[in-house]
Amino acid sequence: MKNERCTAADVALAAGVSIMTVSRAMNGRPGLGPDTRQRVLEAAERLRYRPSKTARALASRRSSTFGIVLPDVANPFFAILAKAAIDVARAAGRNVFIMNTDEDPDLELGALDSLLGEDIDGVIIAGSRLPEAKLLEAVSAFGAVVLVNRDFLGPGRGSVNVEDREGAAQAIAYLASTGRRRIGLLAGPRIATGTKRRLAGYHDGLARSGLPLDRSLVERCIPTIDGGEVATRALLERAPGIDAILAYNDLAAIGALRALEATGRSVPGDIAVMGTDDVPYAAIVRPSLSTVHADIPRLGSEAMSLLLALDEGEEPSLVPTQEPRVVIREST
Amino acid sequence: MKNERCTAADVALAAGVSIMTVSRAMNGRPGLGPDTRQRVLEAAERLRYRPSKTARALASRRSSTFGIVLPDVANPFFAILAKAAIDVARAAGRNVFIMNTDEDPDLELGALDSLLGEDIDGVIIAGSRLPEAKLLEAVSAFGAVVLVNRDFLGPGRGSVNVEDREGAAQAIAYLASTGRRRIGLLAGPRIATGTKRRLAGYHDGLARSGLPLDRSLVERCIPTIDGGEVATRALLERAPGIDAILAYNDLAAIGALRALEATGRSVPGDIAVMGTDDVPYAAIVRPSLSTVHADIPRLGSEAMSLLLALDEGEEPSLVPTQEPRVVIREST
DNA sequence: TAACGTTACGTTAGCGCTAACGCGATTGTA
DNA sequence: TACAATCGCGTTAGCGCTAACGTAACGTTA
C-alpha cells in the first residue's frame, strides 16, 4: 500500500540538478534560473512529489502547523470559530490540530503539552480555563499565541475579543427597558474570563438602569443546554419571582427555555430570556432567542490572521474588539 | 521567547547515559535496567523534556498523527463525529488534523494532498464527495483509511456506517402508517453516497407501504438549514399537494420547517416533516423534529478505533453497522 | 571451564529536508 | 581591461530522533 515515498532526491535525479535546487524551486526561493526552475517543477509534478513537511519542519525548525485548543468542538460557537480559523490557515498553506479540553484545566494543560511535542508554530486558545500563572507557563515555549476572549499581550502574544462586558450590560439595559425588574444571570463556569466579564456587565447594566443588585439572582452554570436547564431550575427555586434571565451563552439560554417550559412558565409572557453569541440555533428554537450578537466567523479568522502575523514576527498590533449588538427575537 | 528546546542529548547528559538510552526510556522500550530507566525519566521530568514528534516521525517513519477530512465542522453532525474521534485519538496519544472541504471535491482533493505532505499515518474521510476512482487514487498513498458512511474495504481500508437506506425506508413506512400519501424527499447533494442510500430507502419504504413512486416529489438539496429551505420551496411549488417530507438530514429538515412556516402551512397538521441523524438541535426546534436516530459519537469513536487498529496492521474486521431507529416527536 | 545465551547499554548511520557557505561564470563599472 | 558584484547552482553539515547492530559483563549449562 504505502509505496515508497518520492523524495527530493528522486526529483533532483529526474531533473538533473542537485537536491538543494529542488528545495529552492519547491519553495519559490530565488537563486535559480527560470528554465531550471521550470524543469524542476515539471519533474516534481510528473513524479507527484510532495515535500515531507516533517523533514522540512525538522530542518527549518518551523513546522508551519498550528494548534487550536478549545473546550468542545461540538459546541457550535467553537465549531464555527474553529472552521473560520482553519479556513484562514489553509489559505496560508498551514494545517491545524484541534484539541478538546472538555472545560477541564488538566486536559487543557495536557493538550498544550502535547502540542509542544508537535513542534507547533503557534496556538489559538479559546475559552481557556487556566489561571493566569499556569497559562503563562504552559504557553511559554510557543512562539506565537492568540487567546480568544481573554486579554493577552506581549511579543508573539495577542488576543481577539468580543466586548462581552458591554454586551451583557446592553442586554440587561434592554431587559430593564422592557419593564423587567428582577433579572437573573446564568453566569457561566467558575474560571472562565467570560464569566467575569459578563458578571461585570451585569452589574453595569443594573446600575445603568437603576436596578438593585441581588446576588441571589446569579447562578453559575455549565455552558451547555443541559447546564443551562439545571442552573435555571436552581435559580427558579431560589428566586421564583424573577422576570428575566440573561444566559452565559445561547446553549444555556436554550436550556433555560426548556426549564421554563417544564415548570409551566411562558416566555416571554412570564419571563424573558436572552442568550449570548447568536449561534445559528438561537434563531431556530421556539420561542426564537433574543441574544447578544457576535460575529463568530470573524472572530475565528481574525484569530488565525493574528496568529499568522505573530508567527511572521510582526508586532502584535491591536485587533479591534467586536462591538456587541443586541438582537431581539421572540424570547423577550 | 522560544528558549532553546530541550533535546534528548540534554537529558542524556544529565542522566549520564547515551541518547539511545533516553529514547528507550521515553518510549518504554525494553533493554535497560529499572534503576537507569528511573534515572532517565527523572532527568527528563526535571528538564521538562518533550521528545520532538517531528524528529521521531522522520526517524521512525510514523508520525503518530491522523487526519479527519469532512465537509464542514460547523455542521453539528460532523462536529460531534470529529469530537468523538479526536477524543479516542487523544487517549491513544495521537493528534489529529481537521480539514474542511465545504462539500467541494477539489478542496477535498487538496485536503488529502496536504495531509499527504504531513506524513500522516491515516485518515478518516466523512461525507466524501469524490467519485470512486478519484477517491481511490487520492488515498492510495495512505497506510490506513476509514470512510464514514461509504463502503470501503481492503488491506488498511475500512468503513463505519449507519444503515441510511433502512433508516429512510422506516421513516417512509412510518409516515405512510400515519396516513401520509404524498411524501416528498429532500435527497441531498448530488455526489454523496448518503443521497443514493436515502433514495434507495425512499423507494423501499414506498414499496413496503404500497405507495406509488413519483419522481417529481424528489428534490436535491444542500444539506444545511438554508439548503433545506430553498429545496422545500422548490418542492412545494412543483408539488403543492404533498403531505410529508423526509429530509436528508436534520438541518435540511429544519430548513423545511422554516419554509413551511413561511408559506403558512402547519406542521404536522398540513404536512409532516422528518429529519435524519437526530442531532441535538432536532429536539429543541419547535415543532421538535421527528427523525431517524444515529449514534453519532459512537460512529466517530468507532471510526477512530478502526483507524488505530488498521494503523497497527490489523486486518479490517467488519465493524457492525448501526441500526437506525425512528424517533417520533412533534413534527409528524 | 568453555561455549552459549542474556542483559544492558553504546555506536553508527541515516530519515528528508534546509541553512550557510563555496565557487565558477556572467554581468556591470571605471 | 581589470575589478567587483552579482547570479546560479552545488556541497557540507546538521535538525532530533530511531533502527540496527555492536559489545562488554554477567549468568547458565554440561
pLDDT tens for each residue of A115-172: 999 999 999 999 999 999 999 999 999 999 999 999 999 999 999 999 999 999 999 9
* CA–CA gap between residue A234 and residue A130 (Å, rounded): 27
A2·B141 Cβ contact <8 A:
yes
Decide: A27 and B24 in contact? Cβ < 8 Å: no
Q: Which amino acid is at A166?
A: E
Enter the C-alpha cell of residue B19.
Answer: 541518547
Enter the C-alpha cell of residue B131.
Answer: 467519485
Which class is domain B65-162+296-320?
alpha beta
Q: Stated in angstroms, how far is A122 CA from C13 C1'?
A: 33
Give the fold, CATH level 3, of A164-293.
Answer: Rossmann fold (3.40.50)
Instruction: Report the Cα B259 to chain-centroid distance in Å.
Output: 28
**What is the bridge-based pairing of β-strands B144-148 and A122-126?**
unpaired
A128 burial type by CB count under 10 A (0-12 exposed, 13-18 middle, 19+ buried): buried
Decide: A198 and A324 in contact? Cβ < 8 Å: no
* CA–CA gap between residue A207 and residue A173 (Å, rounded): 9
Enter the C-alpha cell of residue B74.
Answer: 460547523
Assess whether A210 (CB) lies less than 7 A from strand D. Answer: no
Domain with CATH 3.40.50.2300 in chain A: 65-161+296-321, 164-293
Mutate one of B6, B7, B48, B53 to test the A interface: name it (highest A CB count within 10 A): B53
CATH architecture of A8-51: Orthogonal Bundle (1.10)
* CA–CA gap between residue A176 and residue A211 (Å, rounded): 8
Instruction: Report the Cα B305 to chain-centroid distance in Å.
Output: 13
Residue A69: other Cβ atoms inside 10 A: 26
Residues of chain B contacting A63 with CB distance shorter than 8 Å = 54
* CA–CA gap between residue A98 and residue A68 (Å, rounded): 5
Residues of chain B contacting A117 with CB distance shorter than 8 Å = 50-53
Q: Which residue has the cell 438530514?
A: B249
Domain with CATH 3.40.50.2300 in chain B: 65-162+296-320, 164-293
Nearest to A8 by CA among A38, A68, A53: A53
Give the fold, CATH level 3, of A65-161+296-321.
Answer: Rossmann fold (3.40.50)
Q: Which residue has the cell 412533534?
A: B330
**Tens-digit pLDDT profile for chain B (332 aa)?**
344 678 999 999 999 999 999 999 999 888 888 889 999 999 999 999 999 999 999 999 999 999 999 999 999 999 999 999 999 999 999 999 999 999 999 999 999 999 999 999 999 999 999 999 999 999 999 999 999 999 999 999 999 999 999 999 999 999 999 999 999 999 999 889 999 999 999 999 999 999 999 999 999 999 999 999 999 999 999 999 999 999 999 999 999 999 999 999 999 999 999 999 999 999 989 899 999 999 999 999 999 999 999 999 888 877 889 999 999 999 99
Residues of chain A contacting B126 with CB distance shorter than 8 Å = none
Instruction: Report the Cα B42 to chain-centroid distance in Å.
Output: 41
Which are the contacts of A250, defined by CB distance < 8 A and separation ≥ 6?
A77, A275, A276, A277, A278, A279, A281, A282, A289, A291
Assess whether B91 (CB) lies less than 7 A from strand D. Answer: no
Domain with CATH 1.10.260.40 in chain A: 8-51
